[in-house]
Amino acid sequence: MSNDQTVPYGSDVSAGTYECVDCGYQLSNESKTSLPPCPNPDNKLHTENSWKILSGQGDAKEDPYPDR
Ligand SMILES: [Zn+2]
């Protein structure tokens, strides 16, 4: 069991920070009311097509990816 909460593309959400389950891309959703597809579909094979909710869960980790 994990605390991670994921929502599929297109889900209705509130503003917050989301991380692509498949590639780790972080999305700051300031104003949208539904989630877009990951903008990096070619970066890695996407099989989950979901976002992990980072904000509002109380245990947002440091970004584990030394990404740009
Ligand atoms: Zn992705």
Task: Please count the structural domains in the chain.
Answer: 1
Q: Does some domain include residue 43?
A: yes
- pLDDT at residue 65, rounded to an integer: 57
Note the pTM of the prediction, 2 decimals.
0.72
**Domain with 34 in it:** 1-59
Q: Does some domain include residue 24?
A: yes
How large is the average pLDDT for residues 35-46? Answer: 92
The CA distances from residue 53 to 46, 56, 57, in Å, are: 17, 8, 7
- pLDDT at residue 25, rounded to an integer: 95
Q: Does some domain include residue 18?
A: yes
Q: Does some domain include residue 51?
A: yes
For 39-49, give one letter per residue: b (16+ CB within 10 A) or e.
eeeeeeebeee
- pLDDT at residue 36, rounded to an integer: 93
- pLDDT at residue 31, rounded to an integer: 81
68 or 42, higher pLDDT: 42
Q: Does some domain include residue 65?
A: no
In the reported structure, the alpha carbon of residue 4 is separated from the centroid of ligand 1 by a whole-number distance in angstroms of 16
Ion ligand 1 — residues with CB under 5 Å? 20, 22-23, 25, 38, 40
